[in-house]
Structure 1
């Protein structure tokens, strides 16, 4: 069960004219709660603030959001979701001037799952992800591309699907960022044109650089993936998933992936603990 606040008040409904509902005019963050505390909250709020600046939505400020998160109470293990919309307004796409974003915050408790050390099977998606520099990197409410891509398979043994842009570059998973291990270093898709700059992606890149593991943001092709030593996926809830198989091609976990998972576990991402 999820407890919700709307603009600081207990509620489970929003106005029918909210532009987040009508147009996806807003942003969101999904934050893991572990040991009773949100994980990496500063990084999530920083991305949220940058997204608001990009869309011209007034950012409520870290202090107000933190206060409202505390009003929800606490849970030992769960998921915190923050949605900011431009609020209500007249019909039409032209964005109205608003003084404050509509704030929708939910906290759901869950049972701790297993670790992410078991490698996963994944596939390619047929649904492309659109190139759009204006929205690249930020986490908008419009996720229809991911919804349609995720509807392509129902096999519970396949955990994720990789999405390509119209040029054939591999960009990301439906809910994850992608890393390739090649020649002892990391490659990850350049997200300057599309895709979300994940908080866990940033964490992995920082840990790699701090531990003398090279990282490069590049255009990634299917050929690059075929030639990679290893693959893994990241997001804020799972930590990191090593890839065992992609469309029939097998991968063995490399020492680089094992080392990075150890570093993630040591930095508080216990899903990666061996």
Structure 2
């Protein structure tokens, strides 16, 4: 399927694009089923927040309409929406009147082993650390070199995902997922005010947990808390929830709270 650039089929991009030159932009990865983009409102809400924080001028209504139109043509798969600040000449200073460039790409849904969801996965403890930068924390911006370096640390089939900490040693997230712990029935996920990506499935799980009356906490997580956890799982908006069964010599079982939330997210992604 053709990519779209600013609403038109295209397979090329200007060499002056600031997304290419500086990673100046944002992106969303959206699962599409039966022509419908899933969790669209959460994706668009995060995108709008990112545009506000990066002072990126973008027509949110136009973005919505293009995503819906592209998803209808794609049918089934993964839609990647990229916003860049558009073209500029040499130098970091941006043209203040330039509107965001809109790029839409489609691909097939990834095929993951059923065992990932059923039996759980092993996490690779990555040496690459996430830099602490509150101005960019939570955003799904185009600067993903830390994730690229972390993902290059393992190539075996045993590990399905990596665990990332920040430069102070706090447990933050997976390479392409968010992380949750369960301890004595309480749900815990990392504070992302310094670094990390505020995933849309993470937001959905927090909302579902609150509505179900599940005790939850967003806070700093030390490595010792990971060791003491009763259950651990990772999540994203494409596969839902994978229980974590092992990491760096630690082992867990897929417990009842993980399974309960996994059922809820599976229903959202199968809808």
TM-score by length of 1: 0.93
Deviates more, 1:65-74 or 1:238-247: 65-74
1: CA distance, partners of 2:221 / 2:241: 19
Q: Which residue of 1 aligns with 2:216?
A: 215
2: CA distance, partners of 1:157 / 1:209: 34
2: CA distance, partners of 1:12 / 1:60: 22
8 Å contact kept, 2:235–2:241: yes
2: CA distance, partners of 1:8 / 1:129: 34
Is 1:10–2:13 an aligned residue pair? no
Q: Which residue of 2 aligns with 1:66?
A: 65
Deviations along 1:185-219, one digit per CA (max 9) or x if unpaired, are 10000001100100000011111111111110111
Q: Which residue of 1 aligns with 2:42?
A: 43
Deviations along 1:66-110, one digit per CA (max 9) or x if unpaired, are 235415642342001100000111111112213410000112234
Kindly tell me the number of residue pairs found equivalent between the two proteins. 269
Q: Which residue of 2 aligns with 1:269?
A: 269
Is 1:25–2:11 an aligned residue pair? no
Q: Which residue of 1 aligns with 2:197?
A: 196
User: What is the DSSP-based 3-state SS (H/G/I as helix, E as strand, rest coil) of the residue aligned with 1:194?
Assistant: coil
The structure-2 alpha-carbon separation of the partners of 1:243 and 1:221, relative to structure 1 and needing over 3 Å to count, comes to: same
The structure-2 alpha-carbon separation of the partners of 1:112 and 1:226, relative to structure 1 and needing over 3 Å to count, comes to: closer
Q: Which residue of 2 aligns with 1:205?
A: 206
Q: Which residue of 1 aligns with 2:148?
A: 147
Q: Which residue of 1 aligns with 2:159?
A: 158
Deviates more, 1:138-147 or 1:75-84: 75-84
8 Å contact kept, 2:187–2:215: yes
Q: Which residue of 1 aligns with 2:137?
A: 136
The structure-2 alpha-carbon separation of the partners of 1:137 and 1:127, relative to structure 1 and needing over 3 Å to count, comes to: same
Deviations along 1:93-140, one digit per CA (max 9) or x if unpaired, are 112213410000112234765652330011210000000000001110
The structure-2 alpha-carbon separation of the partners of 1:191 and 1:68, relative to structure 1 and needing over 3 Å to count, comes to: closer
Runs of 4+ in 1 over 6 A off after TM superposition: none
Q: Which residue of 2 aligns with 1:124?
A: 125
Q: Which residue of 1 aligns with 2:225?
A: 224
8 Å contact kept, 1:77–1:111: no
CA RMSD of aligned residues (A): 1.7
**Gap regions ≥5 residues in structure 2:** none
Deviations along 1:204-247, one digit per CA (max 9) or x if unpaired, are 11111111111101111110000000100011111111001112
The structure-2 alpha-carbon separation of the partners of 1:73 and 1:174, relative to structure 1 and needing over 3 Å to count, comes to: same
8 Å contact kept, 1:163–1:170: yes
2: CA distance, partners of 1:126 / 1:107: 32
